[in-house]
A = this chain, B = another copy of it.
Amino acid sequence: MILTLSCPDQPGIVARVSALLFERGANILDAQQFDDEETGRFFMRVVFDPGQADVAAWRDAFAPLGEQYGMTWQMRARGERRRVMILASQQDHCLADLIWRWRQGELPMDITAVVSNHPASTYPHTDLHGIAFHHLPITADTKPQQEARLWKLIQETGTELVVLARYMQILSDDLSGKLEGRCINIHHSFLPGFKGARPYHQAHARGVKVIGATAHYVTADLDEGPIIEQDVERISHRDHPRDLVRKGRDIERRVLARAVRWHLEDRVLLNGRKTVVFTD
């Protein structure tokens, strides 16, 4: 079982939580805490062997404590797989990589659908076998309708996490709001540097010596959502923008994959505009 929680800090939280787990026969396997001295907020992730009780029983048992401390909390079975929808566009390196890692068993999720504004034939080399594919084209005029169809699909499929795998479309404020804390985007720059379009070309023009990518939760405030993970690679004056794009694909793939895996393993907790990431 994995328990994550955050609440205003006060003495005794760890004692109360661990006592409750112990009394009900659980054994703590891993636990990490963080006390944000700036905001006075406390964050915790506990992995425990739940004994006989199932997740519903554990939720019932924990609820009063959660209430008492004003916690935002979540209890999930370790083996439970999240339902994930992947949105893609023309370029498929992030899509292909996520599917590959999923087939390898690296990502504990069920893929509810792959959705693209391009047809499935755009991805002839990615094995979409056994995965629902939806082609939802979009234009400036049809954006509201397309998003409505998308939202309907998210609801119908019970999608818990939406991954923008280089989707290249900006979600409306409305949809961003509905997906708060459960929509991950990969931005192909080392934010906050090079916001906006064509970041590799911006990076080339500025002559930086290191490029990067950023995985973040989507918010209405474009490129300003809470950052989950970033990574970088060295470049040199010899690198043409097309080389940056190539090197960037590698960074984007691994940064997005890490962020998605951490989210699926309940390692990422929201802390206002920031995240607490209990890495492995």
Chain B residues with CB under 8 A of A206 = 191-192, 227, 273-274
A147 within 8 A of B: no
Please give the number of chain A residues whose Cβ is less than 8 angstroms from any Cβ of chain B in the complex: 74
Asked whether A226 is an interface residue with its Cβ less than 8 Å from the other chain, the reply is yes
Answer whether residue A69 sits at the interface, using C-beta atoms and an 8 A cutoff.
Answer: no
Q: Which of B28, B191, B279, B280 contacts A208 (CB 8 A)?
A: B191
Task: Determine how many copies of this chain the complex contains.
Answer: 4
Cβ-defined partner of A246 (8 Å) among B18, B106, B273: B106
Which of A29-37, A75-83, A108-116, A155-163 participates in binding chain B?
A: A29-37
A271→B26 CA distance, assembly (Å): 25
The stretch of A54-62, A171-179, A231-239 in contact with B is A231-239
Docked pose: A237 CA to B129 CA in angstroms: 38
The 0/1 profile, CB within 8 Å of B marked 1, for residues 14-54 of chain A is 11101101110111111111111100000000000000000
Q: Would you call B243 and A250 a contact (CB within 8 A)? A: no
Q: How far is the CA of A207 from the CA of B192 in the complex (A)?
A: 10
**Interface contact A207-B273, CB-CB below 8 Å:** yes
How long is the Cα–Cα vector from A237 to B43 in the complex, in angstroms? Answer: 11
Residues of B within 8 A of A250 (CB): 254
30 contacts between A and B (CB under 8 A): A10-B27, A11-B27, A12-B22, A13-B28, A15-B22, A15-B23, A16-B22, A28-B35, A29-B35, A30-B238, A32-B32, A32-B33, A93-B104, A100-B125, A104-B249, A125-B127, A190-B190, A190-B193, A190-B210, A192-B206, A192-B208, A205-B273, A207-B226, A209-B229, A210-B232, A232-B232, A237-B275, A237-B276, A238-B280, A239-B280
